Structures are given as structure tokens and as C-alpha cells.
Chain A
Amino acid sequence: MTVTEPELENSPLLELLGGFIIELREAGLPVSLTENLDAMEAVTHIPLEDRESFKYALGATLVKNHTHWKAFEVVFEVYFSMRGEEYIIGSEAEGEFSGEDQEGDESALPGQGQPQGGGGGMQSLTPEQLAEMLFKALLNGDMAMLSALARQAVLRFAGMEPGRPVGGTYYLYRTLRNLDLDGVLEKLMEETKSQTSQPMSQFEERLERDEFLDRIEKLKAEVEAEIRRRLVADRGVEAMARTLRKPLPEDVDFMHASREEMSELRKAIYPLTRKLAVRLARKRRHGRKGPLDFRNTIRHSLSYGGVPAEPKFRFPRPAKPEIMVVADISGSVASFARFTLHLVYAISNQFSKVRSFVFIDGLDEVTRFFEGVEDIGEAVHRVNTEADVVWVDGHSDYGHAFDVFWEKFGRDLNPKTTVLILGDARNNYHASQAWIIQEMKKKARKVYWLNPEPRAYWDTGDSIVGEYTTHTDGCYEVRNLRQLESFVEKLV
């Protein structure tokens, strides 16, 4: 069945959906017109009260890339789960939410029913009683109680005030600090140990702890969601959606990634390298045409009544380049170097040889860390901790690093070598020694420079990237995984 046009028009739900899709696009998710229409049709098959199904219906029609799911969820939450008066900051003064002030439409939250009862009278609990309830709920895995307690905790501890321009993280921090979850975890473990007849083995303890950690994570998520709801009620959906908007993992800036984003990036790198490797292997096979494959041509000619209408070619084996990576691993550019090394080694079978060098003001060859290892991530980690890269003071000195490189390894450059230099070229006003790059260029096949800074910052302050890159075959801005992937693909 399909939706008829008039229905599409005046329905407030579809209007809401329209706004939702605009917001998704603002967040960077590509939503096409067909998908938009699909979503509108999809929701007509879903009972509106069923918020989970509603969410999945929209997700399945609008989000076709799993790494975008998180961004989708945040927008969804802001849009559909947080419209309702009970979240207005200050409503705590009136005590518990009665539940009937909701119109029964968008504000009906899944799981909202039960905790109300459990929360009845929570206002009057002493802090000790509240802590005790939290402890019990965590011990027994009582999720309904936990979400009621999360709400109560936010009311009491977050100290939210209408119109105050602080972010959600601040409130989250305040709430969690008051809950002292680390301490609670230890108490939970003690309680469990005292309840078992035999002493627990380390292994059992570990599993038990992981279970509690899981419950605590769920509690934190509830607290976070509660804070977000209240912020939305205070500032409005559109403003909140804007604040909460997060870059997609592939667009996160290496140089400014938060801890959490870093961990997302680390997770993203494995599937990314796998994808890239498969794609490159395929490209190699199908890339350029080699000599005519006679038998294959004849075989196919059968489809044309014996006429060799579609000549088939053997695939050539183009010579694989040798790669030398020379990377600045000081402070702000370290993570960029890490990801690049990771990616290059992950596809090292595309190259006849990969050698790597890292520097700050001194330079060290680190090829050895990667030889015969299965886990590139670990090798990269060792590079960061074990390489010998400090010469004087541990501030980047490109000039000196290039001196060392040239003296020790310059003779290894040959017409098959491609050199990748990684860094922001912020040289702390040391001598540039740019002539070395010029010499490298004469001996090597190609020399490229990858810079993790936005192009607009190049050659400002102590950045002297231009001085170097006039001698190279190209300088690329590589600020995120997306740009890194596309450069590496070009390289092969």
C-alpha cells in the first residue's frame, strides 16, 4: 500500500519528519529524495507508540552506512524522544512527573511507565537512601529502577539552570562525581564476594566485574540521555541538534580529536585498511590492459557466433614501488603519523618494500618494529614509545632530522623509491635544510609531503611547509581518515 498525497501533506508527523531529515543532512548524512519518500511511507506501517520500531524504520530507510548510525541516533533522540514539558528545567520543583501531562504522542518514552512508580516519593529520600537504592539496583540489574534513579540523580546533582550556557559534559561530570561509581563498583564486588560460599577465582571476579561495568555503562547512558532531554527542553530542538552534531568518524580531524573520537578512529582503522586492501588488490588485477589473452578471447567469441568481438587481455604486473615514510611524531602531529604508518603497512603488500623513519629533532629508522609482526597497531605503538627521536630538546627540528636522514640513508634512494614526508613543517625557527628535499627529489621516483594542518594555516607562524614543498611532487592536506584513504589509494 502507498500513502496518498493529501495524507502526506497536512500531517504534523510528516512535517516533523521533514525537519528531521533536514537535520540529518545538516549533520552530514547523505539522504536522497527517494530515501526521504521511503521513510515517509515506512512510518505509515509502524504504530507510532512503538518508538523502537519507528526508529529502526527511519534508520533502515535513511542511513545506509553503519558508521553514520551514531550520528543518526543522536539526531533521532533530540527530535522524537525529547519533546515534552516534563523536561523543562525547573519542573523538578513540582516534584514527580505525573505521566498524564503528556499528550500521549511524541513524548511517550519507552520504559517510561515503570520507573514512575519506582520513583514515587524519590524526592524525599535522603542521599544515603538514594545511594543504597542505586547500589541495590546495580547489584540486581534492575534496569527500570536504574533509569528512574538516573533521572533523580540528574535532578539532584547536575545543578542545571535554565538558560545557562554550559555543555552537557559539565552536567554529566557533576552528576557522576556525586554518584561515585568507582566506589560503588568496589562495593558491588565486595558484596558479591561475600555472598559466594567459595572464594572467587580471578577469572570469575573478572567476569563479575565486567557485568557490573556493563550495568554502570547503561546507567551512565541513562544519565546522559536525561541531561540531553533537559537541555533540549531548555534550548529547543534545533539549537541542541546543532550543539550535539558530531563529525562522522571519517571526518574527525587528527589533530583535534578528543579522547573518545580517538578511540573511534582506532576502531575505524582496521575495517578501513581491510577495505582498502581488497580494493587495491582488485584494482591491480583490473587496472591496465596487458597483452591479448588469446584463449579467453576465443572463449568469449562464442557469444558472438565465433566472432572475436570482445578482445580479452592479460593483466600486467606493473612494478611495485618502494616506499619510504619519513614522519614527524612530535606532539600534535603524532596521531596523524600513527594512522598513516598504520595504513601504509596494512597495504604493504602493494609495495615491493616499505621502510619507515620517525623524527622529532633526531631521527630513527623504525622498519624493524614492523618486520614479521601480525599486529600493526602494536608495532605503531612501539614506534611511539621506543623509537629514538630526541636529539636536543624534543622540539621538532626538520632541518636536523633531514640532515641525519640524508647522511645515513640518502644513498638508499633510487628511481623506484617514493618518499612520503609527514608533518606540519612547524620547525621552531630552525634552519630548514630544504636543499636536502631537492636532492631527494633528484634521486627518488617521487617525493610527496602530507600535512595534517588545514591548508589555510600553511606557512603561517613557524610553518615553513612551502619552502620544502616547492621541491616535491606535491603536498597534500591530510586531516582525516577520508583524506588519508584517498591519498594512499592514489599512491598505489
Chain B
Amino acid sequence: MENHFEDVTGVRASLSDVNYLADDGIAGIVYLAERLGKPILVEGPAGTGKTQLAKSVAEMTDARLIRLQCYEGLDESKALYEWNYKKQLLRIQAEGAGDWNEIEDDIFSEDFLLTRPLLEAIRAEDRVVLLIDEVDRVEVETEALLLEILSDYQVSIPELGTVEANQVPLVFLTSNATRELSEALKRRCLYLYIDYPDLEREREIVLSKVPEIDENLADQVARIVRSIRQLDLKKSPSVSETLDWARTLVLLGISKVDADTATETVNILLKYRTDIEKAIKEFADSPDGLSDEEE
């Protein structure tokens, strides 16, 4: 497969063309992943653009996104492939008393195979990006299903043999770190931590995702969110919450956020009652900076 990516700057620019605002770390690791043919494991707080990154990379490379959403209890038959038992049974019944070896060969052929996302990605003829979303939700033992694909880009099906990828697809795994992933999995991946964006990047994200907003308001939004994130909160506002807030402000026709507006709308940014109270208190009186280090 030819390299798409010239250099890190190029990746960053192309991502920004599809409205994904990356920093040097993000762009650098995407670039490297393609060069090295390695999957990327993306971790970070909720709503910082982990899933979106895979989608945007697919868009920018004109690739089809294949997504495996992980959940507890996910197994081989949902992740890799499954034999179509019903169809197999029908075939066996239809045959009656045929030659068993022949039937067996037949029912374990491609026609009876139900392809699930991982196998689909491996067998794709077109260009694909594989997203294995929220991988921390599957049990540790289930991770084993992924290992062969992640290191060799192939799937072994006992009845059929080994299916190798036609091309090395870009693979993204995301995790909210509700548990440690296995060393085996981590070793196979490049690691990317996406943190909350800095002021400039958040402003750019707002401008690009909420095009109706004017620059001053976007700047204010990013600043206020930055200040709020410095508080000692149970849950800091995510980028999606920043975007929701920005959209709300635009809908309300607000051109400049003052303390009252912030107080009235802060429930869009923060979800816990105690966090909301804390923020409101900070908006109201603020003699010496948003410092929260003291106990």
C-alpha cells in the first residue's frame, strides 16, 4: 500500500480539511502509524475526539470506516465471524443421506460464513479504516481475539485456513481506561493520549464545528472552559460539551458571555450538581484567580 502521508504537517493539514483539529502529537502518531503499519491505541478523557479521529482519518483518506463497537460479553461470533447454523442445517437436511465429508466441506465454505467487522476489515478489497471502539469494555480474555489481527493483519479460521489482509488497514482502538488493557495488546499498538485541547485548539474546534459562531464568542467560550477545567471537579467539561454550549449560546443569540449567562447555562458544560455549584460560586466572586490547590 502506498504511503498517503508526506509528513506530519501534511497530516495535520489534511485532518483540518475534514474539520478535525489535531495537534502535533495526534498528527505525528497518525503519520507514524501509517508508516509503521501499526494500530493506534487512543486513550483520554471522555469526549475529546478519540472516536472522531478514526472517523476523520477515514474521511481524509477516502476510506470506508468499519467499526467494531465493544461491549461486555462481545465474543468471537460478533467480532470476527460466525458460521450460519441455520443455513448449514438446511443444507444438511436438504442433502438427506449424502456423503458426509462432502457436506462438511461444503457447509464450512465461504457461502456459510457470516463476516463480522474484524474479518470484514481484513478481507476488504477497498481501502478501509478499522475502528475498535471502547476496547476497555470487553473482558481481558476477549482481547486475545484481537491480537492476531493487530500484529499480523490476519484471521485464522480453523475450517477455512488463514485469511490474510490484502492491504494493511489503519486501525484505531479507543479506550476510556476503565481498566488496564493487557500488555500484549499495548505492545502491539502505538499509544496516543488525547487530552483536553489547549486554548487555541479548542477555539479552532469551536469555529470549525459551529460555523455560525463569531470569533469573539468562540474565543470567550474556549477561555471560560479553560478556566472551568482548572477547578477541582468530578468531571471536567469535554469537547462535546464545549460544542453543545457554544451552539446553545448561538441559538440564544448571545454575543458576549457575562457572569449571568454563564451561570444560567453552565449546566450544559457540567453534569454533577456539586460541580455546577462550584463553578457558579467561582463566576460570582473571584478575588484571586481560579486556583484550587489549597485544601
Contact = CB atoms under 8 A, between A and B. Distances in A.
A317 interface: no
Given A60-B29, A202-B284, A210-B290, A381 B295 contact: yes
Interface residues of B, number: 57
A367 interface: no
Interface stretch (A371-379, A437-445, A453-461): A371-379
B36 A38 contact: yes
A131 interface: no
B289 A210 contact: yes
Contacts of A205: 286
B24 A59 contact: no
Given A53-B8, A210-B223, A275-B178, A201 B29 contact: no
Nearest to B85: A302
A278 B178 contact: yes
B143 interface: no
Nearest to A213: B289
Interface string B179-211: 110010011011111000001000000000000
A57 B191 CA distance: 10
A210 B227 contact: yes
A85 interface: no
Interface stretch (A61-69, A403-411, A415-423, A426-434): A61-69
B43 A66 contact: yes
B193 A69 contact: yes
Interface string A194-213: 00000001111111011101
Contacts of A112: none
Main secondary structure of the interface of A (DSSP, over half): helix
Nearest to A271: B177
A207 B178 contact: no
Contacts of B28: 46, 52-53, 56-57, 60
Contacts of A271: 177
Interface in A197-244: 201-207, 209-211, 213-214
A213 B291 CA distance: 10
A97 interface: no
Interface string B232-274: 1010000000000000000000000011001000000000111
A282 interface: yes
A35 interface: yes
Nearest to A69: B193
A64 B41 contact: yes
Interface of B: 7-8, 24-25, 28-29, 31-32, 35-36, 38, 40-41, 43-44, 72, 77, 85, 139, 177-180, 183, 186-187, 189-193, 199, 220, 223-224, 226-227, 230, 232, 234, 258-259, 262, 272-274, 282-286, 288-291, 293, 295
CB-CB nearest 7 A-B residue pairs: A203-B259, A206-B286, A56-B28, A60-B190, A64-B186, A278-B178, A375-B274
Interface of A: 1, 30, 32, 34-35, 38, 41-42, 45-47, 50, 52-53, 56-57, 59-61, 63-66, 69, 201-207, 209-211, 213-214, 259, 263, 266, 270-271, 274-275, 278-279, 282, 286, 302-303, 374-375, 377-378, 381
